[in-house]
Amino acid sequence: MAEKERPGGDAAQPEASTTASPLAPPDPQVLSVHLTVNGEARELQVDVRTTLLDALREHLQLTGSKKGCDHGQCGACTVIAGGRRINSCLSLAVMHEGDDVTTIEGLGQPGKLHPLQAAFVRHDGFQCGYCTPGQICSAAAMLQELRSGMPSHATQDLESAPPFSDEEIRERMSGNLCRCSAYPNIVAAIREVGEASE
């Protein structure tokens, strides 16, 4: 292919490439994180970008908490950290330095089930079981929120303690999705445990 002539008659010089070579990925920054997980002091060496969910699953082999959507929309990764339920897929492990973290493994074990686990079994509150660990962790923290008088979007009277009602349970559990649609059974299981502890 002939080179283009410039107006002055000179042949055009090939242009220098403007694309830079790809940058090498930065070296991972690893920090030491101290957590109390299910009552046991743990020290982890993690990349600062590691989520709490990945730290629990990949570093500690606590695989009860599930990676569902990885966007904080399904609740399958719910754990209790610092006394509050969180989506562990959206939280970095390094943000929880010194925190107490409770996963489904810390609530109960086969042969010694947490009351919520036993109620989920009795009421068939799960089918495939994938979301169940997050549902149960969320329910445990939600019951504590109700007991402490924390209002929800469904609470009508902000001057009084929220009522223990199906409407409150459904609203407070709305961040935990069940693709098998066991919602009525989940509500029944939570209601049984909540009423028994009043």
Q: Is 123 found in the same domain as 100?
A: no
Query: In this structure, which amino acid lies at residue 41?
Result: A
Q: Is residue 19 part of a domain?
A: no
Within this chain, do residues 68 and 133 fall inside the same structural domain, yes or no?
no
What per-residue confidence (pLDDT) applies to 197?
79
Provide the CATH number for the domain around residue 94. 3.10.20.30
Q: Are residues 40 and 75 in the same domain?
A: yes
Residue 2 lies in a domain: no
User: Is the CB of residue 146 less than 8 Å from the CB of residue 168?
Assistant: yes
8 in any annotated domain:
no
User: Taking all residues of the chain, what is their mean pLDDT, rounded to a whole number?
Assistant: 90
Distances (CA, A) of 13 to 5, 20, 127: 10, 20, 69
Q: Are residues 97 and 130 in the same domain?
A: no
The residues, any chain, with a CB within 8 Å of residue 39's CB and separated by 6 or more, are 106
Distance of alpha carbon 51 from alpha carbon 46, whole angstroms? 9
What is the domain count for the chain?
2
Residues 93 and 146 in one domain: no
What is residue 182's predicted lDDT score, i.e. its pLDDT? 95
Query: Which of 63, 85, 107 delimits the end of a domain?
Result: 107
Task: Give the pLDDT confidence score for residue 6 in this predicted structure.
Answer: 54
Matching residue, tokens 């562990």 = 88
pLDDT of amino acid 173: 97
Which pLDDT score is estimated for 109? 87
Instruction: Report pTM.
Output: 0.83
Instruction: Answer whether residue 63 is part of any domain.
Output: yes
Which among 53, 80, 107 is the end of a domain? 107
Exposed/middle/buried for 197, CB within 10 Å: 0-12, 13-18, 19+? Answer: exposed
Are 50 and 119 found together in one domain?
no
- Give the CATH number, domain containing residue 177: 1.10.150.120
In a domain, 11, yes or no: no
Residue range 91-118, pLDDT digits in tens: 999 999 999 999 999 999 889 999 999 9
pLDDT band of 90, cuts 50, 70, 90? very high
- pLDDT tens profile 46-56: 999 999 999 99
Whether residue 148 lies inside any domain: the answer is: yes
- The model's confidence at residue 166, banded by pLDDT at 50, 70 and 90, is very high
Examine the domain organization and report whether 139 and 190 are in the same domain.
yes
3-state secondary structure of 5: strand
* Residue 58 placed within a domain: yes
pLDDT in the model for residue 43 = 97
Of 107, 139, 170, the one marking the end of a domain is 107
Candidate from 48-57, 132-141, 153-162 with smallest mean pLDDT = 153-162
Q: Residues 17-45: pLDDT tens digits?
A: 555 557 766 677 999 999 999 999 999 99
* 12, part of any domain: no
- Predicted confidence band at 12 (pLDDT cuts at 50, 70, 90)? low
| Out of 64-68, 158-162, 170-174, 185-189, least confident range | 158-162
The confidence score (pLDDT) of residue 28 equals 77
Which structural domain, as residue segments, surrounds residue 160?
A: 115-196
